[in-house]
Amino acid sequence: MTSAISVSGLVKTFGPTRALDDLDLNVQTGEVHGFLGPNGAGKSTTIRILLGLLRADSGTARLLGGDPWKDTAALHRRLAYVPGDVNLWPNLTGGEVIDLLGRLRGGLRKQRREELLERFELDPRKKGRTYSKGNRQKVALVAALSSDVELLILDEPTSGLDPLMEAVFQDCINDERERGRTVLLSSHILAEVEALCDRVSIIRNGHCVETGTLADLRHLTRTSISAELAGPPNGLANLDGVHDLVAEGNRVKFEVDSDKLDLALKQLVSSGVRTLTSQPPTLEELFLRHYEDAK
Amino acid sequence: MIGTALIGTGHLVRLALRRDRILLPIWILFLVGITYSTTTALEELYKTPESRALLGVTANANSAFLAMLGPLHDTSSLGGLVAWRWGVFSGLFIAIMAMLVVTRHTRAEEEAGRTELISATVVGRHAPLAAAVIVAGGTSLLIGVLQALALIGKDLDATGAFAFGLSTASVGLVFTGVSAFTAQLSENSRVSNAIAGGFLGVTYLFRAAGDAAGESGPQWLTWFSPIGWTEHVRSFGDDRFWVLGISLAAFVLLVGVSAYVVTRRDVGLGLLATRLGPAGGTIGTPFGLAWRLQKGSLIGWSLALLVVGTIYGSVAQAVGQMVQDNPALGQIVQQIGGADAMVDAFFATITQMLGLITSIYLVQAVLRLRSEETSFRAEPLLATPVSRWGWVASHAVFALAGGAVVLASAGLGLGLVHGLRTDDLGTVLPQMLGAALVQLPAAWVIAGVALALFGLFPQFTGVSWAVVSVSLVITLLGPALQLDQWIIDVAPFTHVPKYPDIVAGPLLWLTGVAAVLLAAGFAGFRRRDLTT
């Protein structure tokens, strides 16, 4: 499989701040790649380097086989971008902005544009200054999704959208995946990334700390178990991979590393299980753990 | 009722003073400092009553001086000279100060959504406007009093000193009112400032046109200008304080109307309503977008300078007339080269002034790049196949070619009217177009400085306005203040050939300097990070 985006050892400093610190990122062609991190982790900086808006201090970045700083115009013909903070020209209507950005990219699909306006319930006749934040975001989304490009770069594209529109957005991204487009989706909303992404990279303090499929990352996560047993629990406390064990009589609550689940369950069964509740690991938890480490 | 509507005004005044803690002292220092230094310079230059009297005769015979500075009413004391040399400009600058301060704390705050945040706290409906008026009006009065004290410090007559200082303050008050009103009209602070600035420009020109031909001209026009009113005070002469009553009445009326409008409209909206627009667009190039963003300003400036041109064009003949009507001036005029030479000198000064004013348009057109960048509107554009050069060029062309259009409009106005009045349109029109357009290379240099700052030192693009102001002050006041020649030489407009002796040399090298600056700006922007 070829790489749509391949970044290695990227460094970018703003004065004393080291925004990117040896960042690696690999996005394969045709995948929806989640780019996760809290505010200020360096997501937008990475994206702006990929767009040739900022220049990296060191490291290499390749985008669709080209150099994002040198081959800017040629590469931009093949991608569409939605910024996290969309500002529109106060006296241009939403429709005018959509058409402008589409034309600058070399044309947009008229039918798709109309369909998206309807799905996102956006009135294109309003002037830029009268749109709410969510509606400004929709203008940029419609412009990007209705253009005919290979790569979509979306920087926290759903900030300001309500849950209904968030669902519409997810449908649209699934459509794009079926069309074979590559999507880089930066986000700090985990549910969104879990619902959409084939692979995920997690970035913290300008450095990529984890990358892989959601299944890969689950090896790093824990499952929460609570059970009522026939007799007092035995041997659980000493078991490798069991954390935060709380035992009250015949009831136990604990967390277990997802890859040690099998052993823990065997131990429970040996005491006789009356009820069992297990909560699957969420990215949320994985995410929190990574940032707890940072604190 | 009024009491609750003003709750929180004190807090907002403190907030405004905190935000303007650097800006306001600079304005105060500037307006008081120039008052003092002008007095010192004139004291040196005109020591004897005879020299002052001679200046009076020549100044009141020179229509270019009359148009720019107004008549010199009283030469019996140094104060009369100061009032003549600095009064009109002092008024002009304090008007700009009041305008910027009021808009900054009213419409700009509202546009940014901060008024909404403030209004949700315990703040009365009228408090934001009241705070802005108090800060701008208070600063105006403070400047007026300090100017008076500076003049008294130079041993000038105290009554005259206060007449002068309060005249300056009165213009500040009137434009505090004007901006308070224009801030209610549009949702956009840029438009508010443009309307207020346009009003300032037009009323300045009313007084200039009224003064330019002395008693032979339409002097009644000066009564339609807040700056004209300050001339009618005749500081250090008759000291007619009653004229200031007009300014005060205008201030009260404008603030009252604005406060009424505030109660009749929604926060964030203006009186000029926003309508729905087209669902689709036809703009498909960076230039198309720049045209959409810049055309209003270009058309407005061109029309304004066309009007200005016609006003001055219509006065020019009276300038020659004035000289012939006044035998006492005969000798001086002969020395200068006769009535025709007077008219030529008039056009030379007027076209230079028009060039200086046009440089404001050019800088504004260039700085649009920076405001597009910092408002993050450039980012999505530059993420399309639009190249950085293409984007910069799309706006720069409005400075370079747009500047030519604006100056040509001025030349057209001058030439058409003067040509028709002298029955020689065929000769006069091309001459006047040429006299206006020769200012272009110098204006390009200033635009070049702005673009170079944008490309190389983007955080300092605001310095462009300082460059415009300094070049204005040096060109208009430099020779009279007897500044060192090298300082005068720094201002690009110094080197523009004076009508009618147009030579190509300086125009070519000024264009060369502008080209180098522009190239530096383009290259710098291509290489730098976008501000994000």
B224 in the same domain as B78 = yes
How many percent of chain B have pLDDT more than 70? 94
B293 in the same domain as B264 = no
The residue of chain B nearest to residue A73, with distances taken between CA atoms, is B385
pLDDT digits (tens, 9 = 90+) for B146-171: 999 999 999 999 999 999 999 999 99
Q: How high is the pLDDT of residue A283?
A: 64
Q: Name the domain boundary from B205, B240, B269.
A: B269
A127 touches chain B (CB under 8 A): yes
Q: How high is the pLDDT of residue B198?
A: 84
pLDDT, average across residues B287-310: 91
Interface contact flag, B286 A104, Cβ < 8 Å = yes
C-alpha closest to that of A89 among A79, A80, A81, A99: A99
Look over chain A and give the mean of its residue pLDDT values, rounded to a whole number: 88
Q: How high is the pLDDT of residue B272?
A: 67
Nearest chain B Cα distance for residue A46, angstroms = 12
B309 in the same domain as B254 = no
pLDDT, average across residues B129-136: 95
Q: How far is CA B36 from CA B147, B373, B395, in A?
A: 8, 41, 41
Query: Which residues have a Cβ under 8 Å from the Cβ of A145 and sit 6 or more positions away?
Result: A80, A112, A116, A152, A172, A176
Q: What length does chain A have? A: 295
Q: How far is CA B215 from CA A86, B71, B222, B267, B344, in A?
A: 59, 10, 12, 49, 20
**C-alpha to C-alpha distance for A60 and B454, rounded to whole angstroms:** 28
B261 in the same domain as B395 = no
- Nearest CB partner across the interface for A54, out of B277, B279, B530: B530
pLDDT digits (tens, 9 = 90+) for A166-204: 999 999 999 999 999 999 999 887 778 888 999 999 888
Q: Is B309 left (phi over 0), alpha (psi -120 to 50) or beta?
A: alpha
> B500: cis peptide before it, omega within 30°?
yes
Q: How high is the pLDDT of residue B3?
A: 66
Q: How high is the pLDDT of residue B186?
A: 80
B273 touches chain A (CB under 8 A): no
Interface contact flag, A127 B375, Cβ < 8 Å = no
Q: How high is the pLDDT of residue B178?
A: 96
Give φ, ψ of B141 to 5 degrees.
Answer: -65, -40
pLDDT, average across residues B208-233: 86
Q: Is the pLDDT of residue A1 over 70?
A: no
**C-alpha to C-alpha distance for B410 and B350, rounded to whole angstroms:** 10
Q: Is the pLDDT of residue B293 over 50?
A: yes
Q: Is the pLDDT of residue B333 over 70?
A: no
B387 in the same domain as B263 = no
Q: How high is the pLDDT of residue A95?
A: 93
- Give the long-range contacts of residues B332-340, CB within 8 A, separation 24 or more: B332/B57, B332/B58, B332/B61, B333/B61
Alpha-helix runs per DSSP H in B46-185: 49-61, 63-69, 78-105, 107-111, 114-119, 127-153, 158-185
Residue B6 counted as domain residue: no
The residue of chain A nearest to residue B190, with distances taken between CA atoms, is A90
The angle at the Cα of B372, spanning B277 to B353, to the nearest 5 degrees, equals 100
B257 in the same domain as B368 = no
Q: Which B positions 338-397 lie with beta carbon below 8 A of chain A?
A: 375-377, 379-388
Q: Is the pLDDT of residue B442 over 50?
A: yes
Residue B335 counted as domain residue: no
Q: How high is the pLDDT of residue B421?
A: 85
Q: Which B positions 288-307 lie with beta carbon below 8 A of chain A?
A: 288-289, 292-293
A111 touches chain B (CB under 8 A): no
Residue B279 counted as domain residue: no
Residue B182 counted as domain residue: yes
Nearest chain B Cα distance for residue A256, angstroms = 43
Choice among A42-51, A162-171, B56-65, B431-440 with the minimum mean pLDDT: B56-65
The number of helix segments (H) and strand segments (E) in chain A equals 10, 13
Nearest chain B Cα distance for residue A240, angstroms = 48
Sorting pLDDT into bands at 50, 70 and 90, what band is B410?
very high
B301 in the same domain as B256 = no
Q: How far is CA A138 from CA A73, A91, B23, B385, in A?
A: 25, 17, 39, 21
B189 in the same domain as B79 = yes
B459 in the same domain as B385 = yes
CB B316 within 8 A of CB B347: yes
Domain count of chain B? 2
C-alpha closest to that of A32 among A173, A238, A224: A173
How many percent of chain B have pLDDT more than 90? 48
Would you tell me how many other CB atoms lie within 10 Å of the CB of residue B381? 18
- Nearest CB partner across the interface for B278, out of A44, A77, A125: A125
CB B89 within 8 A of CB B476: yes
Q: How high is the pLDDT of residue A291?
A: 63
- Nearest CB partner across the interface for B530, out of A53, A93, A99: A53
B381 in the same domain as B439 = yes
pLDDT digits (tens, 9 = 90+) for B235-283: 998 899 999 999 999 999 999 999 998 888 777 676 666 678 888 888 8
What is the β-pairing status of strands A3-14 and A58-63? antiparallel
CB A285 within 8 A of CB A257: no
Q: How high is the pLDDT of residue B171?
A: 97
- Nearest CB partner across the interface for B383, out of A51, A123, A130: A51
**C-alpha to C-alpha distance for B364 and B369, rounded to whole angstroms:** 9
Nearest chain B Cα distance for residue A6, angstroms = 18
Residue B154 counted as domain residue: yes
**Which chain A residues have a beta carbon less than 8 Å from that of B285?**
103-104
Q: Max CA-CA distance within chain B?
A: 73
Query: Which residues have a Cβ under 8 Å from the Cβ of B219 and sit 6 or more positions away?
Result: B210, B211
Which tokens is B320 given?
Answer: 């020659």
- Give A231-247 as a 3 state SS string: CCCCCCCCCCCEEEEEE
Q: How high is the pLDDT of residue A111?
A: 93
For domain A219-294, the question of CATH label 3.30.70 is answered with yes
Interface contact flag, A73 B289, Cβ < 8 Å = no
Q: How high is the pLDDT of residue A29?
A: 93
Q: Is the pLDDT of residue B331 over 70?
A: no
Nearest chain A Cα distance for residue B378, angstroms = 9
- Nearest CB partner across the interface for B380, out of A101, A125, A127: A101
What is the β-pairing status of strands A182-187 and A32-36? parallel
B512 in the same domain as B385 = yes
**Does ipTM exceed 0.90?**
no
Interface contact flag, B281 A130, Cβ < 8 Å = no
Q: Is the pLDDT of residue B443 over 60?
A: yes
Choice among A268-272, B278-282, B316-320 with the minimum mean pLDDT: B316-320
**Which chain B residues have a beta carbon less than 8 Å from that of A93?**
276-279, 281
Residue holding tokens 């200008």? Answer: B225
Interface contact flag, B283 A103, Cβ < 8 Å = yes
B283 touches chain A (CB under 8 A): yes
Q: What is the DSSP string of A1-48?
A: --EEEEEEEEEEEETTEEEEEEEEEEEETT-EEEEE--TTSSHHHHHH
Q: How far is CA A104 from CA A71, A101, A139, B43, B325, in A?
A: 16, 5, 15, 63, 65
**Which chain B residues have a beta carbon less than 8 Å from that of A97?**
281
Which tokens is B298 given?
Answer: 């270009």
A40 touches chain B (CB under 8 A): no
Q: Which structural domain range is residue B106 located in?
A: 11-269
Domain A3-217: CATH class, spelled out: alpha beta
pLDDT, average across residues A201-217: 86
Q: For chain A, which residues make up each domain, given as ranges?
A: 3-217, 219-294
B397 in the same domain as B496 = yes
Sorting pLDDT into bands at 50, 70 and 90, what band is B1?
very low
Q: Is the pLDDT of residue A63 over 90?
A: yes
Query: Which residues have a Cβ under 8 Å from the Cβ of B438 and sit 6 or more positions away?
Result: B351, B496, B497, B499, B502, B507
pLDDT, average across residues B296-322: 84
**Which chain A residues have a beta carbon less than 8 Å from that of B380?**
81, 83, 86, 101, 140
pLDDT, average across residues B26-55: 88
Residue B57 counted as domain residue: yes
**C-alpha to C-alpha distance for B446 and B452, rounded to whole angstroms:** 10
**Which chain B residues have a beta carbon less than 8 Å from that of A88?**
377
**Which chain B residues have a beta carbon less than 8 Å from that of A72?**
387-388
Residue B334 counted as domain residue: no
CB B493 within 8 A of CB B439: yes
Which residue(s) pair with A251 in the sheet?
A228, A248
A109 touches chain B (CB under 8 A): no
